[in-house]
Amino acid sequence: MNIGDNFPAKLPEGPIANKWTSYKDHINLVNPANKRLIDVIVVGTGLAGGSAAATLAELGYNVKAFCFQDSPRRAHSIAAQGGINAAKNYQGDGDSVYRLFYDTVKGGDYRSREENVYRLAEVSANIIDQCVAQGVPFAREYGGLLDNRSFGGVLVSRTFYAKGQTGQQLLLGAYSAMNRQISRGKIKMYNRHEMVELVMVDGKARGIIARDLVTGELERHSAHAVVIASGGYGNVFFLSTNAMGSNVSATWKIHKKGAWFANPCYTQIHPTCIPVSGDHQSKLTLMSESLRNDGRIWVPKKKEDVEAIRAGKLKPTQIAEEDRDYYLERRYPAFGNLVPRDVASRAAKERCDAGFGVNATGEAVYLDFAAAIERYGKEQAHIKGMDENDMDLVRSLGKEVIKTKYGNLFQMYEKIVDDNPYETPMMIYPAVHYTMGGTWVDYNLMSTIPGCFVIGEANFSDHGANRLGASALMQGLADGYFVLPYTIGDYLASDIRTGKIPTDSKEFDEAEKSVRDQLEKLINNKGTKSVDYFHKKLGKVMWDKVGMARNAKGLKEAIDEIKAIREEFYKDVKIPGSINEYNEELAKAGRVADFLELGELFAKDALHREESCGGHFREEFQTPEGEAKRDPKFQYVAAWEYKGEPSKAVLHKEELKYENIEVKERSYK
């Protein structure tokens, strides 16, 4: 079935370059006096939610914003390191809106909507203007103008950055815009509050049930529209680079109320993270992709060397050059260590699965800077007219160069691992990082529930099957500052006479009761195991069978296993304390309960997509050389409709049409 039949994606007609402008010119608006009569709930205060809440409040809507953290400033957008893309062409290197659009669609392996991506590229330049006006301290050149850097997979320099913490600076910009509206009384902020249910009245989203995490009380909040900006669901894997609290609950609750969930299996696995050190591990730390510019990735060629290293009898530096397998250089001579994220991640997994992993858990490969240190050192010695054959001198000169380029990353690695990466190779392993899938939304960013909008990483819209570096920040802010504030008016224009939505209706009663029942069921469960026990168990199944490489057999097993873990969870979970108090275990239990359902749909989606594309790799569908093999049959968005339980979800297909870009194969040989 084509999604357009029942739920139009509302894609505008006309030439791609004019679509957004002409669309904006013709959608319904709400006049300023009437905006005062309209309430909007925003769930999540990261880049998307924060910017949306601030902008909607500026426009005059009454905004209620919710975040589970103790302040909006802590949302996980804060952890983004590298930068934000924008088609400014400040470097005069031929960048343009079309080129950013093209790179993003191609980077997404031709699994995203042309219209959405073009709009994203179009508003990208406005984001930079807006952020600078807010006082975001982007990196600058000596002339006082903004600096750019280049990121993987593109041919221009279009990434704006603020050292290694672009995410925090942009988030603080959005937070400051929110603060201004909070002080004006236009945003009512609810910190340490978690949305636990969506309330629908007459088929429309009309409010939420939120739980005050400090008192444990349930609260009813009504509005004319509900905006979900709750981020991605990478924590379904337990271990990921996501924050500990990042969860799927808001998007899962709306899914169960009728919002279709699109492409759940599209997950980005980042190749350069610090490996797991033991069972106690709670989260994974990303090391910037930029390290692959100078680091060479390898594992030993011989099994006995691997054993010796694991036993601590041998150091990596003692392994001779000819006994090392630089597998990326071997398999991809053209791109070498600089293949895209998905390719690098899968290749590391392949070696470790074959038994060549170099740490105790067998899940780590080396990222070695010795060659770069020597190369830079010789260069420096030559420039300075020093002895190029004095290896001690060369190494110390080379280390200085590496230090200026990656000093802070090396320091962070040393703090965490307690190994000096200047002397011995780093150990790295891929980790779950970002989820491209999410709630299905139309061109207005509205889900299949009228009045329920979904923005940022929480929706599925712009990245297809793989996201390019520095594009997540761009999408979050584009949605929140420049897209949703227009498109939400199209929907709200019909609500100007509705008046305040009462919270004493039977719909609110029922929603609150269902939440209370679930909480009581969890807290009264006299089980024996902690929430983390089940979360870790789910994560292991997800990682082993629904992770970087998937096959039909494993996916089928995963579906059954996840179902079994879910049943066990409800039988055997143990949650201390009570409902009406600060109870992190109880909050966690609710989130893990949702992950246990999402995980199954995730696997089901991966099983149905009998092709490999972007972050989704099916072992059965690869080229003879072991590369991803796309299938034109699957050139659609898989949007799942909830029917009582994940296994019964019904698939709706939104065909993807490419009129402005030619669909090609990707090769990195």
Partner 1 sequence: MDLKLKIWRQKNASDKGKMVNYDMKNVSPDMSFLEMLDVLNNELIEKGEEPVAFDHDCREGICGMCSLQINGRPHGPDTAITTCQLHMRKFKDGDTIYIEPFRSKAFPVIKDLIVDRSSFDRIQHAGGYISVNTSGNTQDANAIPVNKDDADKAFDAATCIGCGACVAACKNSSAMLFVSAKVSQFALLPQGQIERKTRAENMVAQMDAEGFGACTNTGACAAECPKEISLTNIARLNREFLKSKFG
From CA 256, how far away is CA 260, in angstroms rounded? 9
Q: Which of 33, 94, 133, 202 binds partner 1 (CB under 8 A)?
A: 133
Q: Is 576 in the site for partner 1 (CB under 8 A)?
A: yes
Q: Give the position of tokens 């009380």.
A: 217
Cβ distance 148 to 157 under 8 Å? yes
The residue annotated as part of the active site, out of 74, 158, 331, 341, is 341
47-59 and 166-183 helices cross at what angle (nearest 10)? 30
Question: Where would I find the beta strands (DSSP E) of 276-425?
Answer: 296-300, 324-325, 365-368
Give the interface segment with partner 1, choosing from 171-179, 366-374, 448-456, 648-656 (CB under 8 A): 171-179
Q: Is residue 51 involved in binding partner 1 (CB under 8 A)?
A: yes
Coil/strand/helix, residue 291: helix
* Chain residues 342-401 in contact with partner 1, contact rule CB under 8 A: none
Distance CA 570, CA 562 (A): 13
Q: Which of 91, 165, 424, 660 binds partner 1 (CB under 8 A)?
A: 165
User: How many chain residues interact with partner 1 (CB under 8 A)?
Assistant: 84
Q: Which of 44, 456, 485, 590 binds partner 1 (CB under 8 A)?
A: 485
Shortest Cβ 23–partner 1 spacing (Å): 14
Site string for partner 1, 259-298 (x = CB under 8 A): ------------------xx-xxxx-xx------------
DSSP 38: -
Q: For residue 368, list its beta bridge partners.
A: 296
User: Residue 163, interface with partner 1 (CB under 8 A)?
Assistant: yes
- Return the residue of 140, 315, 384, 669 that touches partner 1, per CB under 8 A: 140
Instruction: Tell me the per-residue interface mask from 236 to 255 with partner 1, x by CB under 8 A, - otherwise.
Output: -----x-xxx----------
For partner 1, the binding residue among 135, 203, 333, 499 (CB under 8 A) is: 135
Contact letters for partner 1, residues 190-219 (x by CB under 8 A): -x----------------------x-----
- Per the CB < 8 A criterion, the answer to whether 114 and 16 are in contact is yes
CA distances from 233 to 473, 595, 649 (A): 17, 8, 18
- 416 is an interface residue for partner 1 by CB under 8 A: yes
One residue of 10, 27, 98, 134 binding partner 1 per CB under 8 A: 134
Query: Which pair of tokens denotes residue 28?
Result: 């319904």
Choose, by CB under 8 A, the member of 19, 64, 73, 341 that binds partner 1.
Answer: 73
Instruction: Give which of 428, 512, 517, 601 is closest to 219, Cα–Cα.
Output: 512
**Shortest Cβ distance from residue 134 to partner 1 (Å)?**
6
Q: Is 341 a catalytic residue?
A: yes
Query: Does residue number 158 form part of the binding site for partner 1 (CB under 8 A)?
Result: no
Separation between Cα atoms, residue 216 and residue 193, nearest integer Å = 9
The whole-angstrom separation of Cα 336 and Cα 669 is: 8
User: Is 88 a residue that touches partner 1 (CB under 8 A)?
Assistant: yes
**Residue of 45, 62, 69, 267 that binds partner 1 (CB under 8 A):** 69
Cα distances (Å, whole numbers) of residue 315 to 210, 359, 444, 446: 53, 11, 56, 55
At 243, is the secondary structure helix, strand, or coil? coil
Span near partner 1 by CB under 8 A; candidates 325-333, 429-437, 571-579, 609-617:
571-579
Q: Which residues contact 28 (CB under 8 A, 6 or more apart)?
A: 489, 490, 493, 494
Catalytically active residues, by annotation: 341
